[in-house]
Every structure is written in C-alpha cells, then in structure tokens.
Amino acid sequence: MQTFQPDSRAIAFAARHDVAGFNAGELERRRLLGYPPYKHLIRVVVTGPELAPALRALEELREGLRGDELLGPAPLLRLRGKYRAQLVGKTDQPRALATRLASLLAAATPAMRRAGLSAVVDVDPQSL
C-alpha cells in the first residue's frame, strides 16, 4: 500500500487488521461531528455557466435556512463545462429541512433560470 499519510488512523488500523477498533472509533467520531448514521445529510448542488452566481444562490439559501447546521457553500470541480457549488446540511429531521429547501428553491426559480442555474437536492447522498 502506498500513502502520503502513513501515520493516519485508517492506515494504522488497516495494518493491524483491526476492523472492530476502526469501526468503534469511526462511529464515535461520526457521532461527535453529526454525520450518518447519527444525523442525515442533505446536499444541494447548483450548476451554471459561471461560479459566482451559483455560490450567490447557495448563500441566499443558507440565509433562508438560519438555525440549521450547514457546511458551505463550497465550489466543486467543473463538470462538462459547467461550474458547480454545494451546500450540505446536517439534520435530525430530513423531511422538514427538505421541505424548507424546496420552498426556498421554488421562490428562487425565476431568478435562477435567468442566471442559467439549476439545482439538485439529494437527501442522504452517497458521496460528497
């Protein structure tokens, strides 16, 4: 195995074949940080011809979702010539957050269309 981080926690557990130890530590870390399986994640990705409007749209969503635990907005790599950015929310109540997001996105749809932006909401995404 090759790595730039030979002292990393995951590599140390793998070298010892200690799956149980890794899982116990990882579950505790996820509990403390509020990641699955202890909380749900909701990811919003906005795509458009330029990065700045996508980030602005996500900032406005973030403002509308005050009080929730949110990460971002953050730019992502371009895909098929389009700029992308994401906002990730952590929640105990995914339906409630998704409903609020849907309402905010519905209100923002005309402005987003004029800017050439599209949005995708993913509850419990498989990857970030």
The Cα 104–Cα 116 span in angstroms is 17
Q: Taking 80 as the threshold, does the pLDDT of residue 40 lie above it?
A: yes
For the chain, the average pLDDT equals: 94
The Cα 90–Cα 41 span in angstroms is 5
- Confidence at residue 15, expressed as pLDDT on a 0 to 100 scale: 92
pTM of the model: 0.85
Q: Please check whether residue 128 is in contact with residue 89, taking contact to mean a CB–CB distance below 8 angstroms.
A: no
- Domains of the chain by residue range: 1-33, 40-123
> 66: pLDDT confidence band, cut at 50, 70 and 90?
confident
Superfamily of domain 40-123: Ribosomal protein S10 (3.30.70.600)
- Confidence at residue 128, expressed as pLDDT on a 0 to 100 scale: 84
